[in-house]
Chain A
Amino acid sequence: GAGVSQSPRYKVAKRGQDVALRCDPISGHVSLFWYQQALGQGPEFLTYFQNEAQLDKSGLPSDRFFAERPEGSVSTLKIQRTQQEDSAVYLCASSSRLGGAYEQYFGPGTRLTVT
């Protein structure tokens, strides 16, 4: 079946603009994660959803970052007033199991460049 999809694949934003990144998880997957990956680093946890509930947002770097999953499937990560340090690849992952202790399947990511 279809894997995790993300859009857009690439986004260039001017500093101060707002951006919205979309994630379509694997159908039926209850858990959804957002990660930020800087060049040469591993993915850094941002936030976790169990169905529509955001159970953990401890990794969001500032209050400019906001994520939602209103119907328990598609999720959107919004970054307000983008800064240059927000430039990174934003990865979405989903899992059929509850919580973060199980295999996760990643989407192709959105590469965000803030100029």
Chain B
Amino acid sequence: RKEVEQDPGPFNVPEGATVAFNCTYSNSASQSFFWYRQDCRKEPKLLMSVYSSGNEDGRFTAQLNRASQYISLLIRDSKLSDSATYLCAVNLGINDMRFGAGTRLTVKP
């Protein structure tokens, strides 16, 4: 089993739709979780950290389920500009962060 796994998609949704991505991780001792956004041929950019109690930033909601070892990202009222690849990141040890392979989202008019 990979250390961090994501559904690669692609997810094709119409503007205004709500879409959710999950990411599972293998190390139950992991303490830090993040979602990054990566546009085509660009670097990953931090979207949001994921806190134990769940957190929201505008249209984006991140949640952590420690018992089942997954994190999720919910995007409400999706915009064309949300089209990108979404990478989850989980720290596995003191020094390294592991990334999933990413989930590709295309929002269509």
Contacts and interface: CB of A to CB of B under 8 A. Distances in A.
Of the four ranges (under 10, 10 to 19, 20 to 34, 35 or more), the interface on chain B belongs to 20 to 34
A55 B42 contact: no
A66 interface: no
Interface in B1-60: 4, 8, 31-32, 34, 42-46, 49
Chain A CB within 10 A, most for which of B32, B43, B45, B87: B43
Interface string A24-42: 0000000001010000111
Contact of A103 (B8, B42, B46, B100): B46
A42 B102 contact: yes
Interface residues of A, number: 25
Contacts of A40: 8, 101
Contacts of B100: 42
A101 B31 contact: yes
A103 B96 CA distance: 12
A43 B49 contact: no
Contacts of B46: 103-105
B34 to A, nearest CB: 7
A57 to B, nearest CB: 10
A101 B91 contact: yes
B80 to A, nearest CB: 23
A58 B95 CA distance: 10
9 contacts: A42-B102, A48-B95, A55-B95, A56-B93, A56-B96, A58-B96, A91-B43, A103-B34, A104-B97
Interface of A: 33, 35, 40-45, 48, 55-56, 58-59, 91, 99-109
